[in-house]
Structure 1
Amino acid sequence: MPSSVIRSFAYDEPARRLDIEFVSGRVYAYHDVPPAVARAMAASGSRGGYFNRRIRDRYRFTRLPEASMAPE
């Protein structure tokens, strides 16, 4: 389901890193995210809501260059 907040995201399971591109164009890498959390976000009916409830303010993050995510 499309999100009004999140443009795209990708999960690297071996690195436990969730990269999220927001509609603002900003891209962040969230570190040490368990696979179950990433799967639940992918299955969520509201990815923005899931992000706010389960990821934001819970995992360490770094900001990435805005062109770092490949287009879907």
Structure 2
Amino acid sequence: MKRTPVTSSNLASVGYDPTTQTLEIEFKNRSIYQYVDVPENVYNELMQAASHGSYFNGCIRGAFIYRKVSR
């Protein structure tokens, strides 16, 4: 999945597949996780948030099923 680099102390890049509603996040430690059944508006809000890390922690972490895909 193609990811876009983000400016964050914790997140390195973010990708999204609207067909499968899969959100992919690469963290600064190079681990990559995919979050499933994430609505496109959540992805858009994450990308537009003033703080990507704060949005992730408040609205995504713990709210969606995920799987580790790398590292």
Matches within 5 A, 1:20-59: 20-59=25-64
TM-score for both structures, normalised by structure 1: 0.88
Counterpart among 8, 14, 23 of residue 18 in structure 1: 23
Q: CA deviation at 1:65?
A: 1.8
Per the alignment, in what secondary structure is the counterpart of residue 15 of structure 1?
coil
Unaligned ranges ≥5, structure 1: 67-72
Unaligned ranges ≥5, structure 2: 1-5
Q: CA RMSD in A?
A: 0.9
Counterparts of 1:65 and 1:53 in 2: how far apart (Å)?
23
Q: Could you say which structure has the greater relative contact order, defined with CA pairs below 8 angstroms and 6 or more residues apart?
A: 1
Q: CA deviation at 1:32?
A: 0.2
